[in-house]
Amino acid sequence: MADHEKRMSDTESLMWRLEKDPHLASTFGNVTILDRPPNMDLLYARMERTALLFPRLRRRVLPAPGNFGNPTWVDDPTFDIRYHVRHISLAEPGDMRQLLDLVTLLIADPFDRSRPLWHFIIIDGLQGGRSALVQKLHHTVTDGQGGVELSMHYLDLERDPGPLPAIDPSVANAAVDISSPDATEALRGAMTDSLRLPLSVLKQVRDVLSDPSLIGTIGSSTSATVKGLLAQLSETDGSRSPLWTQRSLRRRFETARVSYYDMRGASKALGGTLNTAFVAAAAHAAGKYHRELGAPVESLRASMAISTRTEGSGSNAFTLARMLVPTADMPLPERFAAVNEILQAARTGSSNGSLEAIATVSTMLPTSVITRLARAQAETVDFATSNVRGAGVPLYVGGAKLLENYPVGPLGGVAFNLTLMSYMGSMDVGINIDEAAVESPSLLRESLVESFAELASYAPERSDGASSVVSDDVQENSTKRRWWQRWR
């Protein structure tokens, strides 16, 4: 078994420890609208198979002795697929608002830490005979892009795909190895964690945390990575919003949809990427929201999850970039250009003050100190963004077709999280909101919808280049189908 499958990485260990503060919970989810109720027996069987191919679905977390070192993943001997895959119903005919209100409660409900950290909930009773699949995972299991790769094991390209290939017995046997690490192995892992950084570096971190003014005294010999993470850990500049000042555990979930083709066309026309368009639209909407409520603001601080995934990456491979985005009243193309430059600089900066480097330092600090620092860092950010690339081909689960996909990103102490997932020509946006911070969630949603529509207006007319767009999509979808089959 690969070590990254057996032991948590530093980043995963950090997310696990931070949940001592419920405001910093890292649970995330996805709300998938289905054209009909799925075949539950088929879904149970598919997820049983998936739990063999993706072993963290059947493993629980075993803390290190005395919390000295990173936790390990061990098999849950009482693993029961029907505990993790659940089936409930709204009172028919349920509408979208009822579904989303239920989802906020399901996502916010803490996991039982003695069991594997995931739930799939089928919710029947939606208007039009539809159902929904709510995928809920703890971030230590995988990240957003890893969740997409995980879905390849239980989603199909056809409504009736027929039997799947048998699993290699060696893979199945490895997945159900329930042995826990012995005392010697646990001690070896803890010592490895403790020696990850030189003592001189740890002393610099400790000194700067106790007195941030010492950041300027760091010697030229100190690595850029350590300088970057020290700068991030000592950042005390508060968030910028005069309105989004309160934090709570009350949640509201909203959704929006925008054309993938329009956003891509507008991005190219304005000289940037889809990520630029997404963040620019978020900043445009945030500024509009503040002006509407009589509290204009020049800039807000946003964070963005950036994938660092490679072929050899573990279950979590991302870092976080923080940036000030302009929210003053200005033409959208001007804002787009500014955000494009800001994103390029943020990507460079995130490689120095990386989440992984900060997580490595955190293994040597008490949990109480880490949660205090994390809350202080969260208080410097107004809102969070993330972009997950989904599928461009029709998908099915248990014989039901996926119609829409709305991601539910973790708040982590910010006012709202805006996460986007592309699927079948649409960009589905999930807006996870702290109700104490955002007093008018409906206004925020309306501002986002208007900003996306304004941005889409800069896309060229589809008839001007429809043939090339269609050609690109056919080629891209063919590639995705081959990519998908490789995982089956």
pLDDT digits (tens, 9 = 90+) for 344-403: 888 776 554 455 666 666 666 777 777 887 788 788 899 999 988 888 899 999 999 999
Report yes or no: 120 and 134 within 8 Å, Cβ to Cβ: yes
* pLDDT, mean over the chain: 83
Looking at residue 269, its amino acid is: A
DSSP β-ladder status, 130-137 and 118-126? antiparallel
In 342-448 the beta strands, taken as DSSP E runs, fall at 383-388, 396-397, 400-408, 416-423, 426-434
Question: Which residues, listed in sequence order, are joined to residue 320 by a DSSP beta bridge?
Answer: 305
CA angle 236, 253, 429 (to 5 degrees): 85
- pLDDT band of residue 154 (cuts 50, 70, 90) is very high
pLDDT digits (tens, 9 = 90+) for 233-267: 555 577 899 999 999 999 999 999 999 999 999 99
CA dihedral 226, 231, 235, 237 (to 10 degrees): -160
pLDDT digits (tens, 9 = 90+) for 268-321: 999 999 999 999 999 999 999 999 999 999 999 999 887 776 776 677 766 788
- pLDDT band of residue 6 (cuts 50, 70, 90) is confident
pLDDT digits (tens, 9 = 90+) for 269-281: 999 999 999 999 9
At residue 372, the pLDDT reads 80
Mean pLDDT for 41-53 is 95
Report yes or no: 409 and 419 within 8 Å, Cβ to Cβ: yes
- Going by C-alpha positions, the residue among 284, 295, 278 that lies closest to residue 329 is 284
At residue 226, the pLDDT reads 53
Does the structural domain 251-388+412-457 have CATH classification 3.10.20.30?
Answer: no
Mean pLDDT for 70-82 is 94
CA-based max dimension of the chain: 67
Mean pLDDT for 398-425 is 95
At residue 168, the pLDDT reads 77
Task: Encode 88-107: b = buried (16+ Cβ within 10 Å), e = exposed.
Answer: eebeeebebebbbebbbebb
Residue 169 reports pLDDT greater than 60: yes
Mean pLDDT for 102-111 is 96
Mean pLDDT for 418-447 is 96
| Residues in contact with 68: Cβ distance below 8 Å, sequence separation at least 6, in sequence order | 190, 193, 194
Question: Which residues, listed in sequence order, are joined to residue 244 by a DSSP beta bridge?
Answer: none
- C-alpha 112/C-alpha 19 separation (Å) is 13
- C-alpha 332/C-alpha 292 separation (Å) is 17
- C-alpha 430/C-alpha 451 separation (Å) is 15
- C-alpha 10/C-alpha 408 separation (Å) is 24
Roughly how many angstroms between the first and final C-alpha of the chain, as a whole number?
20
Domain ranges (residues) in the chain:
3-180, 251-388+412-457
At residue 48, the pLDDT reads 95
Hey, do 3-180 and 251-388+412-457 end up sharing a CATH topology, with the first three levels equal? yes
Question: Which residues, listed in sequence order, are joined to residue 387 by a DSSP beta bridge?
Answer: 420
Find the range with the poorest average confidence among 38-47, 59-68, 187-196, 413-422.
187-196
Assign domain 3-180 to its CATH superfamily. Answer: Chloramphenicol acetyltransferase-like domain (3.30.559.10)
